[in-house]
Each structure stands twice: as structure tokens, then as C-alpha cells.
Structure 1
Amino acid sequence: MVDTVPDMPTLDIADAEGLEQVADGRIMLEGLPNTRDIGGIEGAHGRFVKHARLLRSGALAGATERDLEVLADDYDLRTVVDLRTEDERREKPDPEDALVDVRFDHVPVLNTETLGITHGGGLRDALKILRQVQDDPAKIMMEIYPRILLDEASQRGFATFFEDVLATEEGSVLWHCTIGKDRAGLATVLLLQVLGASPKAIMKDYQATNRYVASRTQEIMDALASYHLAGKLDDSIQVINSADPRFLGAALDAVDREFGSLDAYVEKALGVTADKRAALQARYLTDDPSA
């Protein structure tokens, strides 16, 4: 999955002081740079997504003990939906043993073989990915995004994601891929659509990832530079590690052509019926934007 370049170091970007959230819902953790609470976003009928119920993230392998305590205690974490492939999970497994009261569901969305992109560990495999996309990385990503939504395996994965969200009656559910940009980003787009968020609010949340992967992107470029492999690859790294509106736009345009609308897609392809939509809105929306 072109969600990030594999096997590169994760930065600890929060200090030990604050766990406070900023306006876009970021949860300040020590080892997880892109974990966010989507609470507070306006949804259907002028209501708002409840806080501390719906969390999007990158992989949890970098979480510190303190991070896991925050998720378990402050956010009452009950369910984790892992959208990564089996290879990705094997390489950097989630800390399931440390979250014994949390249900983990492995729900792969698409895979690198389907995309024709190899995925392994280490710098050599990272370079393979970069060289495959470096001629026109934006074009490649604009081809990949529609396939994430239209692939039958992906649709089964996203359908299971919705079942997991609906099944989490109390506490919070967290979903993630590798850095929380593409697969987790699209899952969030779909959920916010079902909850009645506006296109503007959905795009704002999607692009917020860019604030939190910039440091990781720089780390990757620095690693390549240390091997004298940077230069023209820098632009490719910047593009594939970005949450670019063109990528999301390409996916939504493809869905419109295939299904007529995103609402029709979530109903026909993912099985989110009117009753399930109403149940999700009843559970996760509130009249109080601070609740």
C-alpha cells in the first residue's frame, strides 16, 4: 500500500507535558504522530460528532506505555480496526498484549499485490516503491485511490469497518493503517459521509494529516540523503506522503461514475442501509458540540 515508505523510523513529536487536543482533534501522544479524535465535526441535522468515540490513527506499533494508557483510560478504547495487510501487521504488529480489554479486528483494505507495488522492509524496498512512482507520483496516486474504493476486497474491508463501528456500543473505536493517511483517511471520509458531514468538513479532516506526516517525510528524506539517494526522489516522497485533494477527488469521481454518488456507494457496495445510517447517527452524534 502506498500509505508510506516502509520501515522508516517514527518520530516522537510530542513532549511529555501535554495531552491536550488542538482544533483538528489531534491527540498529543509520545509515539503516535497522527492520532486524532474526529469529535466536534458537524454532521447531520446540525448535530456534532461525539468526542472521544471515533479515533483515526497510524499504526500503533510506535505507541509508548503512556500512549496506551491514554487511549485505554482517557478514551476508553474498546475496538481497534487494523486496515493493513498481513505483511504489514507481521512487520510492525499492534500492541495487542498491552491492550487486553480491547478487541482487535484485522480488516485488510486492498493489498500491494493488487496494486502491482511490492512491499517489504528496509531501504531497498522503499526505493522500489519510490522508483515506481517517481515519474509522475501524483498520477499514480490518482489511479490508486479509486482502486482502493472500487476493489471488491476493499469494499468487504470497509463494510466490516462499519460493522465494527456500529458494534462498539460504548467507549471508543480506533481505526488505522500505516500512517493514517490513505486507507484510514478514506475510511474516515466514508464514516463522516454517513454521519452527514459536509464535503468541506470531510476535506478539512482529510488534509489535516499533512500537518503530522511532514516530520516523518523529512526523516525519510534525511535517511535517503545519508545513503546519497535523495535529490530527485524528494519530490516523489513529498507527493506520496501527502493527503492531496486531487487523490481524494479522483476516488470520489470514480465512485460517482460507478455508483452515482457516495451515498449510493456506502449503501450498495458497503451495505450501510438507511437503518444502519440512522443507528450510527443516533449513536455518534449529539446536539452539544463539546460533548
Structure 2
Amino acid sequence: MKKVLFFFLVIPFTLQAQLADSTIRVVKMEGAVNFRDVGNYKTLDNKTIVNGKIFRAASIAGLTDKDMQKMEELKVRTVIDFRGTNEAAAAPDKLLPDTDYTLCPAGSDNLPTPEKIADMIKSNDFLMDMYNEKSIQYYGKRYKPLFQKLLTVPDNESLLFHCTGGRDRTGMATALLLYVLNVPMPVIEEDFTASNVYLESANKQMYKPLAEMSGSTVAEIENKMKLRPQHIRQFFSTIKSHYGSVENFLEKECGVGPEDITRLRERYSN
């Protein structure tokens, strides 16, 4: 009981609300982490994003036979992969037969090596480069396939999008999608930073070699790599500074105009 109390005391109150209904949103898998249903959020016009239609995750290369049964139950027949070409080839997705798979490597083929990351970690906030001017050129090519597939995926099937960690590239995709579906920005930020909790155990293992290479402690690496609301705010701010609005970006770079936004809201909220 004390551990449970401590858990909620150290997590900001707004994030507590997001995590409180994790039993509804989180899909427990043996071979994947941060696997979540994007649904169940309330929109600004008091609708609810539908459950069981859109999922996000970290790598699905390690899905077990039991996990594949779950994928069948979830009817995941469309998968969008935000990893780079070599990144995806090194750990191929586990997919159901006849899955509509799309690799969207824009901006991911030039990701830094672990050694480079260890060196970059010494700067104040190297992570922000994924969310600012240095990455704006990739957002359209990376996320256009997601929205196009969401407009056409069969009604009796569901869609999953993911990267390796399921937090940065996938987090931006989720934020953009929730924005389109009219979810309040504070909730979008809470969903984004929730990955810090859902990936905690996996991150500790990943950060150990980075700590050794950079001469830092695991705690210091965790702090440097922590997702913050400022990251996703910068993501939207950068889009607005280049396109005038998120809506202009969606129409110009993703082929999603006002009518498409209406269709997406009709399909994925009620």
C-alpha cells in the first residue's frame, strides 16, 4: 500500500488521471511494451475516442505466439512502422498474415548511433532536436501514410503504429492524431509523457550502456531522456511557425483537408 501511495505522490496530478484508467488503455503483451489503445479520451465537443480501432506501441519484433493471438483478437491488419530502413530490417515486425504494412523511414535513417547519443547526452536538451526546426522536414513524409490509412482502413479492422521505443516518433504521431480528433491539449501532453512510466523498466536496461559510454549515472541518463510537455509543445510550435497552423500542415503535407478531418472524427469518435 505504501508503494502505491508513493507512486501516486511522485507523479503529477494531471498524469495520475491519465494513468488511472490504464487498465482500459494499456494492452498487456509478453513481447512488447508501451502498447496502448489510443481510444477512450474525451474530446472538446464531449465525444469519446472509440476503443479498439487505433493502437500505438514500441517495437513489435518480439511478439510471442500468445501476443499474436491477441493481435488477432484486436484485428490489427494495418501496421505503420516509423523506424528507419536498417532499423526495421534488424528487427522485423511480427505481423498477422495479409497485414497491410507500411514503412515510413523519413528522418529515421539518419538517427545517431548509441555512441553518438552518449556524446550528445552531455548537452542540455539534445532530445529537443527531434521536435524542433531540425526535424520539421520529415514530419509530412513520416506521418502522411498514417492519416491516409486511417481514412481507408476497413471498418472491421484496426490499425497499429509504432517505432522502436514507442515514445518519440510514435508519441508525435499520437499527439497529432489526438489533435485531429479534437482532444484537449493538456490531455495530449499527459498521454505523451505517460511513456515515461510505461517504459520505465525497459528504459533502465537500455540506459545502462549509455551511462557507461557517457560517464554518467543511469539516473542522469533517465533525466536527460525524460519526455516533457515542452517537447510536444515544441513539436506543435514548430509546425505552426512553418505552416501557420496545424491544419495547414495536415492539408499540405499529409493530404488531410477539412473534410478529411471531419471524416476522421466521425469514424473514430462518438
**TM-score normalized by the length of structure 2:** 0.84
SS in structure 2 of the partner of residue 220 of structure 1? helix
Q: Contact 2:118/2:210 (CA < 8 Å) preserved in 1?
A: no
User: Cα–Cα, structure 1 residues 270 and 66, in superposed 2: closer, same or farther, change >3 Å?
Assistant: same
Which of 165, 169, 177 lines up with 2:150 in the alignment? 165
Q: Contact 1:44/1:195 (CA < 8 Å) preserved in 2?
A: no
Which of 118, 141, 144 lines up with 1:130 in the alignment? 118
Root mean square deviation of aligned Cα: 2.2
Higher relative contact order (CA 8 A, sep 6+): 1
Q: Which runs of 5+ in 2 are unaligned?
A: 1-20
Instruction: Give 1:102 deviation, angstroms.
Output: 1.8
Hey, what does 2:97 align to over in structure 1? 100
User: Cα–Cα, structure 1 residues 255 and 223, in superposed 2: closer, same or farther, change >3 Å?
Assistant: closer
Instruction: Give 1:231 deviation, angstroms.
Output: 4.8
Bigger shift: 31-40 or 264-273?
264-273
Q: Which runs of 5+ in 1 are unaligned?
A: 1-20, 120-125, 287-291
SS in structure 1 of the partner of residue 154 of structure 2? coil
Q: Contact 1:83/1:177 (CA < 8 Å) preserved in 2?
A: yes
Cα distance in 2 between the residues matched to 1:186 and 1:59: 16
Matched, 1:88 2:73: no
Cα distance in 2 between the residues matched to 1:71 and 1:148: 36
Cα distance in 2 between the residues matched to 1:45 and 1:66: 38
User: Cα–Cα, structure 1 residues 30 and 209, in superposed 2: closer, same or farther, change >3 Å?
Assistant: same
Hey, what does 1:144 align to over in structure 2? 130
1:45-60 pair list within 5 angstroms: 45-60=45-60
Cα distance in 2 between the residues matched to 1:36 and 1:264: 28
Which of 219, 222, 245 lines up with 1:261 in the alignment? 245
Bigger shift: 248-257 or 234-243?
234-243
Hey, what does 1:237 align to over in structure 2? 221
Bigger shift: 159-168 or 265-274?
265-274
Q: Aligned residue pairs: how many?
A: 249
Cα distance in 1 between the residues matched to 2:89 and 2:143: 21
SS in structure 1 of the partner of residue 259 of structure 2? helix
Cα distance in 2 between the residues matched to 1:208 and 1:224: 22
Identity within the alignment, %: 26
SS in structure 2 of the partner of residue 174 of structure 1? strand
1:1-291 pair list within 5 angstroms: 22-23=22-23, 25-43=25-43, 45-73=45-73, 75-96=74-95, 99-113=96-110, 117-119=111-113, 126-136=114-124, 138=125, 140-147=126-133, 150-151=136-137, 153-170=138-155, 171-223=157-209, 229=213, 231-232=215-216, 234=218, 237-239=221-223, 241-286=225-270
Cα distance in 1 between the residues matched to 2:135 and 2:149: 18
**One-letter amino acid matched to 1:106:** L
**TM-score normalized by the length of structure 1:** 0.78
Q: Contact 1:109/1:183 (CA < 8 Å) preserved in 2?
A: no
User: Cα–Cα, structure 1 residues 149 and 272, in superposed 2: closer, same or farther, change >3 Å?
Assistant: farther
User: Cα–Cα, structure 1 residues 183 and 109, in superposed 2: closer, same or farther, change >3 Å?
Assistant: farther
Cα distance in 2 between the residues matched to 1:205 and 1:148: 24
SS in structure 2 of the partner of residue 60 of structure 1? coil
Cα distance in 1 between the residues matched to 2:219 and 2:253: 35
Bigger shift: 79-88 or 232-241?
232-241
SS in structure 2 of the partner of residue 165 of structure 1? helix
